[in-house]
Structure formats: C-alpha cells, structure tokens
Structure 1
Amino acid sequence: MKTLVAPTDFSDKSVNAVFYAADMACMIQADLALVHVCQVPMTFSDTPAPASTLAGLMSEAEERIDRLAGRILDRTGGQIRTTTVVKEGNVVDEINRYCATIDTFAVVMGAETAGAVERFLLGGRSVAAVKHLVWPVIVVPPGSVFNGIRNIGLACDFRKVTETIPYKEIEMLVNKFQARLHVIHVTAEKGDEYSEEKIEACSWLKDTLDELKPVYHFIGGKDPDKGIRDFIKEHALDLLIVIPKKHSLIHKLFRKSETEKIVLHSPLPVMTIHE
C-alpha cells in the first residue's frame, strides 16, 4: 500500500504537518509513517558525544513518537495504519533510505520545522534538500489543515517540458483527488513574441495533459514569484506543484530574499516532483 512519510522533530509546525499527512492518508487510503532522525550530537571539541547520550536521545524520541502515534490513532479513529520510525544520522539521507524500503507516495513535512530539517529547507540549502529527497515532497505551511484537494496548480516555465514534466505523477494526483489542474505560466512576452521552442513546448504540454483537461493561465509580468503569489491569492488552489531543475523557476522560488518565499511562506502546501 502507498505510504505517506511524515518526518517530525516534534515541533508544533512539524506536528501540524503530521496531522495534515494523516488526514490525507485517510482520504486516499494510504498508510502513514512517522519518522524522526536523531543526529549525533557533537561536543565542544567536535567529537561525537558518548554513545550513552545518543541512546538517551533515541529512547526519548521513541517515547515521543509513540505518543504522537497515539494522537494520530485518536484523530483518525484507526482508519489508517501508522508506523513509527526512529533513526540516527543525517536527516535527508535517512529519509531517503527509509523511503526506498516502502511504497512511498510522498514525504510530507512542515515549513520551517526546527532543527535539522529547517537547516536543510531554509535559504540556499532548500534547493539541495528538495533535490536530495528523491520522492515527491509536500511542504506544509504552519496552520494548514487538509480539507481535500480540489484545485492543483502546476507552475510551468515551458522550458524543456518533454524532459522535465512528470506526467504520470501529475496524472496520479489529479485522478487520486479528482482535482482540477491549473497550469500557470508567468511571462512578459506576448503570444506573437514566443520563441519556436516555447510554442513547441506549449503544444506538447497541451497534447500530453489533454486527458486531464487542465485550465491554462498565462499571466503577464516579469516576476514569476510575484505572479504566482498573486495567482494563489486570487484562486482557490489547494496545492501548488513545482518541478526542481537547474536555472528554472524553482531556483527563484526557493531563493533566500527579503520577499515572501513562495514555498516556505506559501499560504498553501507546495509539492515538488523531480523531473
């Protein structure tokens, strides 16, 4: 059975993402795996702390994750099977290793969670985190509640679409949630100014996504970040999909800046799917 993997550091924001994942699992009839990774603490001399210290951290984590699983049981009424996993090591590496042992649907994590996950997701390293998590990742903003997914946005720059658009995953999402797909493209170009490459990309994408009957939104503007944020504010999207790739929209979406980061501070969950 498909499994939603929910890493947690037990902070309020990560627990909220766990609840989001649990409610989603109920809807799509998936299993849920709660994962906590203990990193080896370092002493002031940059040497690993004694094994007894790590053992204590692991024991405490197992107690906390069991209590969290109990809350999930109460919340879902036992509708889903919940597994608890406590690992030691690098957060992203351990999540990847665990996901490889099961039928992973997606990794669901909170934006700005404390500890190691936060260090991977904030700033410039956010791109590295998304690239190193091989499976689809759903980043859940604080306070988000899962109420179904009826409208899915796909941010598209129409570059190398034949190589980068993960059609099967998008099709699965749209069909699983019976959702409407919105393809969003922000550009300062007018239709008669499109390059031959972009025209071919538009044609290919329309043919490929035809069975999903998407709605296309071509938004005028030079700033993709702002264009997509404005679109999110004006439309009732439940999930935004972005595709990580070099020199593309995802780099702008994840960049560290004074402006609102569309992923970490997005008002709705954002899903990244690898090309």
Structure 2
Amino acid sequence: MKTIIAATNFSKAANHAVAFAADVACLLKGRLVIFNVVDILPVTTDAQVPIDFYEVAEEEADKSLSELALEMKKRTNNEIEIKALYKVGTVATQLDTLCDEEDPLAIFIASEFVTVFERLLWGSHAIPIAKHSSFPVIVVPANAMMKDFKKMGIAIDLEHRSHIQWQFLRDWLKLFNAEVDIVAVSPAAELTSRGVPLTIDTQEQLGSYKVSYHFVANNDVEDGIREYVTKNTPDLLVMFVQKHGILHKSITKSFILLPPVPVMFISQEVK
C-alpha cells in the first residue's frame, strides 16, 4: 500500500495541499499521513517564549490535526487509511525521521503561507526539503484541483542528463499511466544538436510510454519552462534538483513559491 505524507501548518494553503494529497491517496487506494511540526524557535532568537508555549502549541496541534483528519475522512468517504500526528522539533529533521519510518511515495507541501510568521517557519524550510529529501516533494498551488496525473511534463537539463533517475520515473508513470512531455530549454542556436542525445536517451528509458518533445528556445530557463506550462497545461511538472546546472537554487525557489501547476521536485537523494 502506497503511503503519502502531507505536511501542514494549518494555514488555508497548507490544508488545501493536504486535501490534494488525500485525493491522490484515494486515487491510488493508498494511505495518508497528515503531519505537523511544533517548530522549535532557533536558539539565536530574541523572542521571549512563554513557559507554557509548547504545551499550548501541542494541544492546538492535536486539536487541529483531529479536525483535519476527520475532514479528510469525509472527503475520501472513509475509503483510505488516514493517520495524523505531530512532533516537536525542527521541520526538516522531524520530516526526515517520519519519512524513514513511513517510506512514502511522495511528500506534499503547500506553495503559499498566509502570515509572515508561517512563511518564516515553513518557507525557509521548503527549499532544503525539496533539494535534499530522499523522497519526491510535490508543491501544490493554492488553486490546484486533483483530477489525475494523466499528463506529466518532465523538465530536463540538457547539460546534466546523467543525473536523471529513469527508474523512478518509470515507476511513477506506471502508477498513473501518464503521457509524457519532455521539456528542454535552450537558446535557439543550440536546440537541434543538443536535443538529439536527449531523444535517444528518452526512447531507451521511456520507450513504452507515449512521449512528446518540447524544445523551448529561450535564454531564460524559468521563462521557458513557464511558457511550456502555459501552452500545454500538464497535470504535474517534474523537476530534477541538482547541485549544478539549470535548476539551481533561484529557479527551485521560484517554482516552490509560485508553481504554475503541481510541481514534483526530485533531488539527487531520491533512489
């Protein structure tokens, strides 16, 4: 049974991501783990924390999780197993521990946060989670509705094709029987010669799937990918996070904060 983890800070956007994840879990007849972290304030902070701060925060987390789990059970007609829990600690550490225990298919998080405080707690964690998680991280826009992942756009760096986790992609595509758009952005003068090796690699690795190629001529990689999304409206955009190459930190951050569609980030740690 496939397990999906949905992390929330109980904002409207975060709970929407949980609902989206619940729909995916229901589609796959899997199980959903709703997760919250009562975040420990950094030791360098000057904030004065009340003595009962964590006790109150834990009580609120427990109550909010119970209400959210009940809402998701109604949403899925009690067709899937739903587990809800919170931990006290730092978001990245507690999420890593949970993933080691649950071995999830994917982690779902929100793209937006409704207060500055929430953005400080979660926004600063979203980038390292996406860049270093051993499991795929799916960032859900506030207006995204889950129908199915029937069409997936896979953004590929022409300079770093060797880092593509093809086996993972095959396993993921098989779950949804999806059509595939291979998306590569490069200046116009370089597209023809650089695109041929990619099509050969893709045919060898994804030959059993319906594959279309989108070579976008644009000097700005982010603009090129967003141009593809606007024209082709994939259900899911897949991006590989690399230490070097086109999908560097600024692009990763941009697609986390402003994803045009649900975006799945695959770090080099994903097996």
Q: Structure 2 length normalisation: TM-score?
A: 0.88
Partners of 1:161 and 1:205 within 8 A in 2: no
Aligned residues: 262
Instruction: State the 1:249 CA deviation.
Output: 2.4
Alignment correspondent of 2:222: 225
Alignment correspondent of 1:5: 5
CA distance in 1, matches of 2:125, 2:43: 22
Partners of 2:149 and 2:178 within 8 A in 1: yes
**Deviations 1:31-54, CA, capped at 9 Å, x for gaps:** 000000001247997588466321
Partners of 2:241 and 2:252 within 8 A in 1: no
CA distance in 1, matches of 2:45, 2:35: 29
Alignment correspondent of 2:106: 106
Instruction: State the 1:2 CA deviation.
Output: 1.6
- Is 2:247 the counterpart of 1:238? no
Instruction: State the 1:262 CA deviation.
Output: 3.4
Alignment correspondent of 1:203: 200
CA distance in 2, matches of 1:95, 1:106: 12
Instruction: State the 1:119 CA deviation.
Output: 2.3
Q: Structure 1 length normalisation: TM-score?
A: 0.87
50-59 vs 61-70, greater mean Cα deviation: 50-59
Equivalences for 1:57-72 in 2 at 5 Å?
57-72=57-72
37-46 vs 230-239, greater mean Cα deviation: 37-46
Partners of 2:136 and 2:264 within 8 A in 1: yes
Alignment correspondent of 1:35: 35
CA distance in 2, matches of 1:271, 1:146: 14
CA distance in 1, matches of 2:20, 2:258: 17
Instruction: State the 1:192 CA deviation.
Output: 8.0
CA distance in 1, matches of 2:129, 2:112: 13
Alignment correspondent of 1:146: 146
RMSD after superposition: 2.3
CA distance in 2, matches of 1:72, 1:192: 46
> Gaps (5+ residues) in structure 2?
none
Partners of 2:157 and 2:245 within 8 A in 1: yes
Partners of 1:43 and 1:49 within 8 A in 2: no
**Deviations 1:164-216, CA, capped at 9 Å, x for gaps:** 11112211221111110100011114468636xx7545422331222223111
Q: What is the DSSP-based 3-state SS (H/G/I as helix, E as strand, rest coil) of the residue aligned with 2:102?
A: coil
Q: What is the DSSP-based 3-state SS (H/G/I as helix, E as strand, rest coil) of the residue aligned with 1:104?
A: coil
- Is 2:251 the counterpart of 1:253? yes
Partners of 1:40 and 1:49 within 8 A in 2: no
| 1:236/1:59 CA distance change after superposition, 3 Å | same
Alignment correspondent of 2:174: 175
- Is 2:261 the counterpart of 1:268? yes
Instruction: State the 1:152 CA deviation.
Output: 0.1
**Deviations 1:229-254, CA, capped at 9 Å, x for gaps:** 11111113110000000222221422
Q: What is the DSSP-based 3-state SS (H/G/I as helix, E as strand, rest coil) of the residue aligned with 2:98?
A: helix
Query: What letter is aligned with 2:123?
Result: E
Partners of 2:139 and 2:259 within 8 A in 1: no
Equivalences for 1:67-146 in 2 at 5 Å?
67-113=67-113, 114-115=118-119, 116-121=121-126, 126=127, 128-146=128-146
> Gaps (5+ residues) in structure 1?
256-260
| 1:44/1:240 CA distance change after superposition, 3 Å | closer
| 1:45/1:5 CA distance change after superposition, 3 Å | closer
Query: What letter is aligned with 1:6?
Result: A
What's the % identity of the aligned pairs?
26
Alignment correspondent of 1:56: 56
**Deviations 1:50-106, CA, capped at 9 Å, x for gaps:** 663212211110111000001001111101100011101110111111010013100
CA distance in 1, matches of 2:193, 2:151: 28
185-194 vs 82-91, greater mean Cα deviation: 185-194
CA distance in 1, matches of 2:206, 2:54: 50
| 1:201/1:184 CA distance change after superposition, 3 Å | closer
Q: What is the DSSP-based 3-state SS (H/G/I as helix, E as strand, rest coil) of the residue aligned with 2:255?
A: coil
Query: What letter is aligned with 1:13?
Result: A
